[in-house]
């Protein structure tokens, strides 16, 4: 029996040994497979990364200043000027106008500010243990630096999206993998179907232009990157961290839309303050090859507080440079525009002049306002005003058609109005339109209200517009002061200051000196000295009301647009003395 038991135990241990050896061989084979798979995956990732970098480099290395796909392309590295990015609080989202934010920022800060370099945007600041996952920026060379191998090389993939492009896919369903493949063929060609193993950054640009339903309360939970859903549901789950929690997200937005995303979904809020004074000078130096001209432009900007503040915004620097270069070249020794309204009127004139020379075969000395140009300006103004009232910054073909705009005709005004659509990959041809900057839309909206009132006697800011439908003999002659006073009241009642700049432009347009350049657009001029004085007095009275500091500052800028500099400075000094500002 003992011998039998010993033999059985020996046999059992032999079997166990054989089993373990076989399992070890299997594990070794599996490990070899895993290593082989890992090597293949790394090879595919490297190939895909190189292709993606090459294509992103091609896409972002050139910039069309202020306008899209028009004019002469300039290398971004040649023109790029660093911008001032400041860290804000995670819960400090607001709905203020970006120009108002810049003006507030130009005052002395009430707390120390932390500046951040764009290449450090996902690096945890001192004292923070958790990694930065989602960054919201109120305001991307980041992508170009990565594509050129200059920064953030620990990141395997950067996928930049714009909400303009995503809006077009509103009614369609994709998985996250399919959405990436749709925009970036490199991942599809490499057969990459999961991203958990990689360091991935998604950049979503222009939240303020989003027309997708982002419901952070009732949206279904999605955790599988291969499961299809609407684009709105995909983005909501990606931002929530349900979908691909290992990914980094960078969302850019104008301040007004920042509150669309709950604060708990955002690890860090940063604010792009635009150019510092030194960076403004650097921009104009890089822009102008004429040192004398560059010096004149920089000196002129410093003489006007409104222009100086606005030049914190890079696109306004482009508008300013465009106008001042033209004025200095065509009117040597002439007076340069000092107010915002003057600057934007000149900008519209420059763009109309360029359009007439380039597309209509006209000469630089011809009238800027031919029949075709007048019709287009009227249509663009109507679009600007109607969409501003709705809070829309981007538009589709149907929006243009409603305003009687022919798409082909609109495209020749590339400096004012631009067409954005993804043409590089030929994925779709849905056209998306916008003005080159919100301030251009606000100016054209004010111009539309002004021209409609002067030419037709209709106050578009008044709910009662029956006067325009009456026969001429029964019409009550409208007063300019009623239009301007109603605009002041409406702007002061706006909860987020979205009509502040519109009001400045409308008041500026009421001056006869500003109407000289626009004479071809008007059947008659509008302002008289009596109206001017009444408007100034009306604004002065508003200072005695219980207004916020921001509202008072905007009224100061309104007086500046009316060239009432004495009152403006007197009022501002009084407010500062009383510690109200």
Element (H, E) at 388: helix 371-390
Q: Quick check: 141 and 118 in contact, CB under 8 A?
A: yes
**pLDDT higher than 70, residue 410:** no
Which residue, of 274, 306, 334, is where some domain finishes?
Answer: 274
Q: How far is the C-alpha of 167 from the C-alpha of 201, rounded, in Å?
A: 20
- Which DSSP symbol is given to 420? E
Instruction: Flag whether 315 is in a domain.
Output: no
Look at the chain and report how many structural domains it folds into: 2
Give the whole-number percent of the chain exceeding pLDDT 90. Answer: 10
Which residue, of 274, 299, 330, is where some domain finishes?
Answer: 274
Residue 313 gets the label, from left (phi > 0), alpha (psi -120 to 50) or beta, of beta
**pLDDT higher than 60, residue 76:** no
Task: For residue 581, give Cα distances in angstroms to 102, 325, 550.
Answer: 15, 35, 8
Instruction: Flag whether 207 is in a domain.
Output: yes
Cα maximum dimension of the chain: 130
pLDDT of residue 551: 79
Q: Which of 90-99, 217-226, 405-414, 512-521 has the lowest mean pLDDT?
A: 90-99
User: Which of 26-40, 134-148, 505-519 has maximum average pLDDT?
Assistant: 505-519
Task: For residue 113, give Cα distances in angstroms to 270, 273, 309.
Answer: 11, 11, 19
- Is the model more confident about 153 or about 348? 348
Sign of CA dihedral 521, 522, 528, 531: negative
Parallel, antiparallel or unpaired: strands 417-420 and 432-435 = antiparallel
Q: How far is the C-alpha of 275 from the C-alpha of 289, rounded, in Å?
A: 20
Instruction: Flag whether 401 is in a domain.
Output: no
Looking at residue 249, which CATH number applies to its domain?
A: 3.40.50
Q: Which of 70-74, 181-185, 519-523 has the lowest mean pLDDT?
A: 70-74
Instruction: Flag whether 500 is in a domain.
Output: yes
Instruction: Flag whether 191 is in a domain.
Output: yes
User: Which of 4-18, 399-413, 461-475 has maximum average pLDDT?
Assistant: 399-413
Which residues contact residue 529 at a Cβ distance below 8 angstroms, ignoring those fewer than 6 apart? none
Instruction: Flag whether 397 is in a domain.
Output: no
Structural domain that includes position 128 = 85-274
Instruction: Flag whether 413 is in a domain.
Output: no
Q: How far is the C-alpha of 576 from the C-alpha of 498, rounded, in Å?
A: 24
Q: How far is the C-alpha of 194 from the C-alpha of 198, rounded, in Å?
A: 9
Mean pLDDT to the nearest integer, 69-97: 42
* pTM for this entry: 0.65
Instruction: Flag whether 300 is in a domain.
Output: no
Which residue, of 254, 274, 294, is where some domain finishes?
Answer: 274
């Amino acid at each position: 029996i003992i011998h039998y038991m010993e033999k059985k135990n020996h046999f059992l241990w032999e079997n166990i040994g054989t089993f373990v050896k076989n399992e070890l061989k299997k594990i070794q084979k599996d490990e070899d497979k895993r290593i082989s798979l890992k090597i293949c995956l790394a090879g595919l990732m490297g190939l895909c990364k190189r292709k993606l970098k090459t294509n992103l480099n091609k896409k972002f290395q050139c910039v069309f200043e202020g306008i899209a796909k028009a004019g002469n392309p300039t290398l971004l590295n040649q023109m790029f000027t660093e911008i001032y990015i400041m860290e804000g609080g995670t819960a400090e989202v607001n709905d203020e106008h970006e120009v108002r934010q810049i003006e507030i920022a130009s005052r002395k800060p009430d707390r120390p500010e932390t500046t951040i370099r764009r290449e450090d945007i996902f690096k945890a600041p001192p004292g923070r243990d958790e990694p930065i996952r989602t960054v919201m920026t109120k305001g991307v060379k980041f992508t170009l630096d990565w594509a050129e191998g200059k920064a953030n090389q620990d990141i395997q993939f950067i996928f930049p999206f714009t909400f303009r492009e995503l809006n077009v896919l509103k009614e369609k369903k994709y998985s996250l993998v399919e959405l990436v493949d749709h925009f970036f063929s490199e991942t599809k060609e490499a057969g990459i179907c999961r991203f958990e193993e990689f360091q991935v950054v998604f950049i979503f640009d222009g939240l303020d232009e989003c027309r997708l339903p982002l419901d952070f309360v009732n949206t279904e939970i999605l955790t599988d990157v291969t499961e299809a859903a609407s684009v709105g549901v995909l983005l909501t789950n990606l931002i929530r961290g349900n979908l691909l929690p290992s990914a980094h997200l960078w969302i850019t937005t104008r301040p007004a839309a920042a509150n669309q995303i709950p604060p708990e979904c955002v690890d860090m809020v940063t604010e792009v303050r635009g150019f510092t004074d030194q960076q403004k000078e650097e921009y104009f130096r890089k822009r102008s090859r004429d040192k004398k001209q560059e010096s004149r432009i920089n000196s002129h900007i410093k003489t006007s507080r409104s222009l100086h503040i606005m030049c914190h915004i890079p696109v306004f620097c482009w508008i300013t440079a465009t106008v001042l270069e033209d004025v200095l070249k065509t009117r040597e020794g002439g007076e340069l525009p000092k107010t915002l309204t003057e600057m934007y009127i000149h900008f519209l004139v420059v763009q109309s002049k360029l359009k007439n020379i380039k597309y209509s075969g006209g000469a630089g000395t011809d009238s800027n306002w031919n029949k075709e140009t007048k019709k287009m300006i009227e249509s663009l103004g109507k679009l600007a005003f109607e969409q501003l009232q709705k809070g829309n910054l981007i538009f589709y073909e149907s929006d243009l058609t409603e305003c009687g705009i022919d798409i082909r005709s609109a495209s020749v005004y590339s400096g004012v109005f631009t067409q954005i659509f993804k043409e590089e990959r030929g994925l779709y041809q849905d056209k998306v339109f916008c003005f080159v900057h919100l301030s251009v839309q606000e100016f054209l909206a004010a111009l539309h209200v002004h021209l409609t009132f002067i030419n037709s006697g209709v106050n578009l800011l008044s709910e009662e517009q029956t006067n325009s439908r009456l026969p001429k003999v029964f019409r009550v002659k409208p007063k300019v002061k009623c239009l301007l006073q109603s605009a002041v009241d409406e702007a002061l009642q706006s909860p987020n200051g979205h009509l502040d700049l519109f009001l400045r432009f409308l008041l500026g347009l009421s001056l006869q000196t500003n109407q000289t350049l626009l004479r071809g657009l008007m059947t008659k001029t509008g302002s008289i000295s009596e109206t001017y004085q009444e408007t100034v007095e009306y604004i002065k009275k508003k200072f005695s009301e219980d207004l916020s500091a921001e509202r008072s500052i905007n009224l100061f800028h309104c007086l500046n647009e009316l060239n009432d500099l004495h009152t403006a400075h007197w009022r501002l000094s009084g407010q500062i003395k009383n510690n109200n500002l």
